[in-house]
């Protein structure tokens, strides 16, 4: 048991970059960065219908537009409810 989320030799790790880069190198993966993992997590959240405002907050973005422009366009299904409202309005206007 430890008080630290990530540690090495009983001491807290200031940065996971070196360990992450070593793991990527040993795995033989190419072009995988910490940003890749962050982006994949954001896309997974957006694809699971987590509101973009919550995704932005989780990622520490101050501006939701940053989150949407980088991740939201990947899974536009979250816009379905907005489109359905317009379809409903259009159907009511025809009656």
Instruction: Note down pLDDT in tens along the chain; length 95 residues.
Output: 678 888 888 889 989 898 899 999 999 999 899 988 888 888 888 888 788 889 889 988 888 877 777 665 566 665 677 778 787 666 667 76
Residue 71 buriedness (CB in 10 A; 0-12 / 13-18 / 19+): buried
* DSSP structural state of residue 11: E
Sign for the pseudo-dihedral over CA of 12, 14, 18, 21: positive
Q: How far apart (Å, rounded) are the C-alpha atoms in residues 24 and 80?
A: 37
CA distance 32 to 48: 23
């Amino acid at each position: 048991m430890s008080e630290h989320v990530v540690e090495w030799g009983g001491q807290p790790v200031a940065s996971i970059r070196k360990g992450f880069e070593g793991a990527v190198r040993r795995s033989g993966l190419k072009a995988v960065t910490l940003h890749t993992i962050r982006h994949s997590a954001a896309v997974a959240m957006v694809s699971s219908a987590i509101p973009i405002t919550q995704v932005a907050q989780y990622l520490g973005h101050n501006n939701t537009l940053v989150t949407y422009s980088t991740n939201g366009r990947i899974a536009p299904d979250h816009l379905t409810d907005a489109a359905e409202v317009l379809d409903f309005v259009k159907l009511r206007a025809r009656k």
